Every structure is written in C-alpha cells, then in structure tokens.
C-alpha cells in the first residue's frame, strides 16, 4: 500500500484524524502538542497518526494535502488546516461550527473555556 493509499484509507475510516509528530498521548513538537491539546480538552474522538514513524507517510501527507507543515487535521475526509488555522478556528468558534455541522461530538463548554482563557 502506498503512502497515499494509506492516507486515503485513514481519513475515510475515521471522522477526525490528526497527522502529527508523536501521538496524542505524547506529542513530539509544540505545534502538534497544541492541536492535540485542543482536541483532547474538547473531548473529540480522533485518530492520531505519528508521521515520525514513516518517512514516506511524512512526505506523503504534505503532498496529499498540498500543505507543507505538520500537524494536519482532517474532519470527515476534508483537510481543515495546521496549527495556526486550528488555533484561529478554535478561538473564533469556527471549529465548533465545523464539528457541529459534520456531526462530530465535542464538549462545547470546554471550547468556551478555551476562548475565555485566551480572551
């Protein structure tokens, strides 16, 4: 299976996927840690894919999304963005709207707490 096939299957099989450096339990870069932290705090059920374990996957995800950096968040098969975009969407409430529209369960009160803490 090619890296592209593996990526397609992963984003198809899971509602929310975070391609990251490390794992959701042990992120290995600050940007991955930030996005995983937001998803974890909001109680989102997501698959984490450690791109450090496979160089073909690490390069493949950048080509697949046409996005040069890691982490990368996918919701219902669609690329949403990297750390800066997810941070902005969290603080503006857009991430809540996306999850609600796509039928992804999350803790709305936790999302509000993130915004309050960053106001």
Task: Mark the binding-site residues for [2Fe-2S] cluster, compressed into ranges.
Answer: 29
Assess contact for 50 and 22: CB atoms under 8 A: yes
Evaluate the omega torsion of the peptide bond into residue 71 and state whether it is cis, within 30 degrees of 0.
Answer: yes
Element (H, E) at 116: helix 108-117
Question: Which residues carry a binding-site annotation?
Answer: 29
Assess contact for 40 and 46: CB atoms under 8 A: no
Q: Which two tokens stand for residue 80?
A: 């949403």
d(CA 89, CA 104): 15
């Amino acid at each position: 299976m090619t890296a592209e096939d593996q990526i397609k299957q992963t984003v198809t099989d899971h509602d929310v996927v975070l391609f990251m450096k490390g794992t959701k339990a042990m992120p290995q870069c600050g940007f991955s840690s930030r996005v995983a932290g937001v998803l974890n705090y909001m109680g989102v059920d997501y698959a984490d894919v450690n791109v450090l374990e496979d160089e073909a996957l690490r390069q493949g995800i950048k080509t697949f999304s046409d996005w040069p950096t890691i982490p990368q968040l996918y919701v219902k098969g669609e690329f949403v963005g990297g750390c800066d975009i997810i941070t902005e969407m969290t603080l503006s409430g857009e991430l809540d709207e996306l999850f609600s529209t796509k039928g992804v369960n999350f803790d709305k009160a936790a999302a509000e707490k993130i915004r309050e803490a960053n106001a």
